[in-house]
Amino acid sequence: MRVVIASSEAVPFAKTGGLADVAGYLLEGLTRKGIKARLFMPLYKAVRDNFPDLKYTGVEIKVTVGNKMYSSRLFSYNDSAFFTECDVFFERQELYGSSSGDYRDNAERFIFFSKAVLQAVQALNLIPDVMHSNDWQTGLIPLYMRSIYKKHFSKTATLFTIHNLGYQGLFPYSVMPLTGLSNELFKPEGIEFYGSVNFLKAGILSSTAINTVSENYAQEILTSEYGFGLDGVLRKRRDDLFGILNGIDYSQWNPSKDNLIAKNYGTKDFSEGKALCKRHLLKQCGFKVERPLLGMIGRLSAQKGIDIFLSALEEIIFAGTNVVVLGKGDEAFEKAFEGFARKHRKNLLFWRGYDEALAHRVYAGSDVLLMPSRYEPCGLSQMIAMKYGTVPVARKTGGIKDTVEDYNPLKRKGTGFLFSDYTPNALRECLIRALCVYAEPLRWKRLILGGMKKDFSWDSSIQKYIALYESLRRRLKG
Ligand code: ADP
């Protein structure tokens, strides 16, 4: 079976979040299972800088966006990942925008990319059995395959994965002519959405099947609370909507082999290992007093529950904790953390930025990982944290609900602490519950061990994707 994964980011090439992990691991995992998988992504500046050995395929395509034509040379890496070049769109510092906002030409950039993928697979003779596109950036791909590129893809099924329904690729009506699609599609049953063009909706409506990245989130998005206005559209497609939990790449995230942390440890010797990693992290943070160390790693966006965390932060520190936050995102949140960090220098450190190596050290050195997400399609951080013996204190939503078991003190069972109400108070109370168990070292150790022993490896997710691809292919033939 031949599969093309179209994604706007993928590890190890370029990453802003979980989408990159999924796309990268999927490529690797499918290939390992004997599937002829290829990845297509834009040739960003970061890819060019970090992978100077990309091979020019010798193929150049011409892609129209509106009435402009762009030339795109196609590059490859190991003949499995392909990159569409277009410097006016992708030779930039960031992938989608800076902290002051999205790039203004994101519609053009991803119309270009969606068309480029479809033309590139033809030009390179790589037309797949299944075209797997991801999130709004590639939402137009299945629609193009049913419209302007129809005759080339009659034997290709499409899977569209929603990694985050909160980002829909909404653009003004003026973008319609740039898409090259019929104006007829600009209606509520089409890709119109409250007066805007919605790229994600295009993917939902026109692909053979849709999936999202945890079973619980696949149910949640059918409700108005989590549906971001698309719950009605999704309910219409509920028979074709699936949930497949993301996995973790344990070759990258494994405390027993991780050479970025101060000391390696496994399930048998985590006490010493974690203690040393914690001391190391405390030193790096400049914290003099040892207290329960709470870590938070992630995009600083409203999705991640930063508002309730900020409201609870001072009381969390006064409860006797040290806090380390690694992240970047909305300017207002960055400033708020900077302000608190100045005020509570002894117990709070804010690292503004994206830093893979530091993330490893925070996962290893923290006692608790905070994840008060408003919503969380899957969430990788809680799974990574558990592997590193770091106990999640998290909101019971999306994939967190599928992966973290709330601690039951009577049965002494569970892998973390969960709260439901989206309030600073609920977060605080949940953390207090965790700190009570932390104060009992034997119980805490058992809790840590339970989390470390959980298996969230990619293997079972990959099997599920393969089964889904097969069923789509059968559907197309039948
Ligand atoms: P999302 O995809 O919503 O950003 P996930 O939990 O699915 O959230 O994935 C986030 C991934 O990105 C994790 O691997 C996490 O460790 C990593 N990450 C997020 N922010 C940072 C950061 N500032 N520095 C390093 N790694 C980060």
Does the Cβ of 379 fall within 6 Å of ligand 1?
yes
Does the Cβ of 297 fall within 6 Å of ligand 1?
yes
Per-residue pLDDT in tens (0 to 9) along the chain, 478 residues:
999 999 999 999 999 888 998 999 999 999 999 999 999 999 999 999 999 999 999 999 999 999 999 999 999 999 999 999 999 999 999 999 987 789 999 999 999 999 999 999 999 999 999 999 999 999 999 999 999 999 999 999 999 999 999 999 999 999 999 999 999 999 999 999 999 999 999 999 999 999 999 999 999 999 999 999 999 999 999 999 999 999 998 998 999 999 999 999 999 999 999 999 999 999 999 999 899 999 999 999 999 999 999 999 999 999 999 999 999 999 999 999 999 999 999 999 999 999 999 999 999 999 999 999 999 999 999 999 999 999 999 999 999 999 999 999 999 999 999 999 999 999 999 999 999 999 999 999 999 999 999 999 998 899 999 999 999 999 987 7
Pocket test for ligand 1, best of 22, 213, 299, 349 (most atoms within 8 A of CB): 299
Torsion of CA 79, 378, 138, 145, to 10 degrees: 90
Considering only CA atoms, which of 304, 453, 316, 473 is closest in space to residue 379?
304
Distance CA 468, CA 466 (A): 5
Write down the pLDDT at residue 477. 78
Strand (E) positions, 330-398? 348-352, 368-371, 391-395
Residue 80 CB neighbour total at 10 angstroms: 14
Does the Cβ of 300 fall within 6 Å of ligand 1?
no
For residue 168, the CA-to-ligand 1 centroid distance in Å is 19
Pocket test for ligand 1, best of 99, 380, 390 (most atoms within 8 A of CB): 380
- Ligand 1 atom nearest the C-alpha of 380 is 6
List all residues 6 or more positions away from 57 whose beta carbon is below 8 Å from its beta carbon.
73, 74, 75, 76, 82, 124
Q: Which amino acid is at 210?
A: I
Does the Cβ of 392 fall within 6 Å of ligand 1?
no
For residue 455, the CA-to-ligand 1 centroid distance in Å is 19
Considering only CA atoms, which of 200, 204, 253, 290 is closest in space to residue 390?
253
**Nearest Cα residue to atom 4 of ligand 1:** 17
Considering only CA atoms, which of 61, 109, 454 is closest in space to residue 250?
454
In which order are the strands placed within the sheet that holds 157-162? 55-65, 68-77, 81-84, 36-42, 2-6, 130-134, 157-162, 209-212, 241-243
Residue 189 CB neighbour total at 10 angstroms: 9
What is the number of H-type helices and E-type strands within the chain?
A: 18, 20
- Ligand 1 atom nearest the C-alpha of 371 is 6
| 3-state SS assignment for residue 383 | helix
Distance CA 436, CA 434 (A): 5
With b for 16 or more beta-carbon neighbours within 10 A and e for fewer, the 232-262 pattern comes to: ebbeeeeebbbbbbbbbbbebbebeebeebb
Does the Cβ of 378 fall within 6 Å of ligand 1?
yes
Q: How far is CA 165 from CA 42, 141, 423, in A?
A: 22, 17, 22
Strand (E) positions, 43-182? 55-65, 68-77, 81-84, 97-98, 101-102, 130-134, 157-162, 170-171
Does the Cβ of 356 fall within 6 Å of ligand 1?
yes
Q: How far is CA 13 from CA 21, 43, 153, 286, in A?
A: 10, 9, 28, 33
> Position of tokens 């395959």?
145
